[in-house]
A and B are shown apart, each in its own frame.
Chain A
Amino acid sequence: MMSLQNFMNEAISPWMKEEGPDSDIVLSSRIRLARNFAQVTFPIIAKEEDLKPILDFFDQEFAHQSFKEYKNFELVPMNNLKPIEKRVLVEKHLISPHLAEQSDHSAALISENEQISVMINEEDHLRIQLYYPGFQLEQALKRASELDDWLEEKINYAFDEKRGYLTACPTNVGTGMRASVMMHLPALAMTQQVNRMIPAINQLGLVVRGIYGEGSEALGNIFQISNQITLGKSEDDIVEDLQSVVRQLIDQERRARDTLMQRSGLQLEDRVFRSYGVLKNSRIIESKEAAKCLSDVRLGIDLGFIKNISNNILNELMILTQPGFLQQYAQETLTPDQRDIRRASLIRERIQLEKQ
Chain B
Amino acid sequence: MECQECHQRPATVHLTKVINGDKTEVHVCEQCAKEKGYGESSFSLNDLLSGLFNFDHASSLGNGTAPSSTPPAQQLQCPKCGITYQEFTRIGKFGCAECYKTFDDKLNPIFRRVHSGNTEHNGKIPKREGGNLHLRKEVEQKKHLLHQLIEKEEFEEAAKVRDQIRKLDKQLQNEQGGDG
Chain A residues with CB under 8 Å of chain B are: 36, 38-42, 44-45, 123, 145, 148-149, 152, 155-171, 173-175, 177, 199, 202-203, 205, 214-215, 228-235, 238
Contacts and interface: CB of A to CB of B under 8 A. Distances in A.
B22 to A, nearest CB: 8
Closest 8 CB pairs of A and B: A232-B118, A164-B121, A202-B21, A158-B97, A231-B115, A159-B129, A175-B123, A41-B96
Given A41-B81, A157-B126, A170 B92 contact: yes
B116 A160 contact: no
B123 A234 contact: yes
Interface residues of B, number: 39
Nearest to A235: B123
Contact of B111 (A44, A45, A159, A231): A231
B170 interface: no
Nearest to A238: B123
A170 B111 contact: yes
B52 A170 contact: yes
Contact of A231 (B52, B93, B94, B118): B118
B93 A123 contact: yes
Contact of A156 (B48, B107, B129): B129
Interface string B44-71: 0000100011100000000000000000
Given A166-B97, A168-B94, A233 B122 contact: yes
Contacts of B80: 41
B152 interface: no
A289 to B, nearest CB: 26
Contacts of B100: 160, 163, 166, 173
A155 B116 CA distance: 31
B179 interface: no
A22 to B, nearest CB: 26
B93 A168 contact: yes
Contacts of A238: 123
B36 interface: no
Contacts of A175: 121, 123-124
Nearest to B124: A235
Given A41-B81, A42-B94, A171 B116 contact: no
